[in-house]
């Protein structure tokens, strides 16, 4: 079945104030914890020894898993020579807001998309416990994939931000000519600047403002993927302050002229 040319569906707007969920620790430290843990794991895979990795983990983890047990558990990673060292040049994206649970443990779910690496998609869940004033891993779940054509982390965030800022400019000027010109061919064939203005009228009347959205990282509802049509599919939310609001996005991009261009957009502001 051919992907529909009806590339933009109804956009809804509602007002709902809520207390924004905050990151439990500084984002830079959060990224560093994830990166350090996974790079320590990567080193263990390379040297085929988990002795040093084991020492970096929380005491409960150390009691439950010996270095030799970890080697058995992650034997397939070593057999397949899995290399995730390229995360050093990237940063994690999250599929849930990191939280501290009732036991004081911090749970982080997310992924990396790497630029020139096989595997290029690294999905993780890491639970940390604070011991001796340091966050140490107490559990680790890791899955790796190779997804052809999937753009790397920076390009994914760049495409989201570019689209949202272009939309913001259209709201500000009440002119969607430039937004439409940057979209995919099917999108341009289906819609006109006037039609887009009608669709987004509620956003403009309510003075919806995305101008600061690039200061935030989205929380993804699911892993990014390339669908059966070759389009990049992104689903997630921004949690914004001042005023507090949730911006839900569903964005599909089609690769044209060596760049990803919007073919489907659905925005919901709460």
Q: Start-end ranges of CATH 3.10.450 in the chain? A: 12-21+151-269, 27-145
Helix (H, G, I), strand (E, B) or coil at 230: coil
pLDDT in tens for each of the 270 residues of the chain?
A: 445 543 443 444 433 332 334 566 688 899 999 999 999 999 999 999 999 999 999 999 999 999 999 999 999 999 999 999 999 999 999 999 988 988 899 999 999 999 988 999 999 999 999 999 999 999 999 999 999 999 999 999 999 999 999 999 999 999 999 999 999 999 999 999 999 999 999 999 999 999 999 999 899 999 999 999 999 999 999 998 877 889 999 999 999 989 999 999 999 998
Report the alpha-carbon angle 147-32-25, nearest 5.
115
- CA 168, 251, 96, 52 dihedral sign is negative
By CB atoms closer than 10 A (0-12, 13-18, 19+), residue 155 is middle
For 27-145, CATH gives 3.10.450
Per CATH, which fold does 12-21+151-269 belong to? Nuclear Transport Factor 2; Chain: A, (3.10.450)
Sole residue written with tokens 């007002």:
15
Question: Cβ neighbours of residue 153 under 8 Å, at least 6 residues apart?
Answer: 90, 91, 93, 112, 113, 114
In 3D, which of 256, 257, 200 has the Cα closest to residue 232?
256
pLDDT at 141: 97
User: pTM of whole model > 0.85?
Assistant: yes
pLDDT of residue 23: 61
């Amino acid at each position: 079945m051919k992907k529909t040319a009806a590339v933009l569906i109804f956009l809804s707007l509602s007002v709902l104030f809520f207390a924004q969920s905050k990151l439990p620790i500084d984002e830079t430290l959060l990224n560093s914890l994830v990166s350090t843990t996974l790079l320590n794991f990567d080193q263990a895979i390379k040297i085929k020894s988990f002795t040093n990795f084991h020492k970096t983990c929380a005491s409960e983890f150390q009691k439950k898993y010996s270095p030799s047990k970890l080697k058995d558990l992650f034997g397939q990673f070593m057999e397949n020579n899995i290399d995730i060292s390229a995360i050093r040049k990237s940063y994690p994206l999250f599929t849930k807001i990191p939280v501290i649970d009732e036991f004081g443990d911090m749970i982080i779910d997310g992924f990396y998309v790497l630029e020139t690496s096989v595997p290029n998609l690294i999905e993780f869940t890491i639970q940390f416990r604070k011991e001796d004033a340091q966050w140490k891993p107490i559990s680790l779940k890791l899955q790796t994939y190779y997804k052809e054509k999937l753009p790397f982390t920076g390009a994914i965030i760049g495409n989201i931000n570019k689209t949202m800022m272009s939309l913001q400019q259209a709201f500000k000027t009440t002119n969607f000519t430039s937004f439409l010109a940057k979209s995919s061919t099917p999108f341009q064939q289906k819609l006109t600047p006037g039609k887009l203005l009608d669709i987004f009228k509620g956003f403009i009347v309510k003075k919806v403002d995305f101008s600061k959205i690039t200061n935030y990282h989205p929380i993804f509802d699911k892993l990014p993927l390339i669908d059966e049509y070759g389009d990049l599919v992104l689903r997630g939310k921004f949690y914004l302050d001042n005023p507090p609001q949730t911006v839900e996005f569903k964005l599909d991009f089609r690769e044209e002229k060596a760049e990803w261009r919007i073919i489907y957009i659905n925005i919901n502001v709460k």
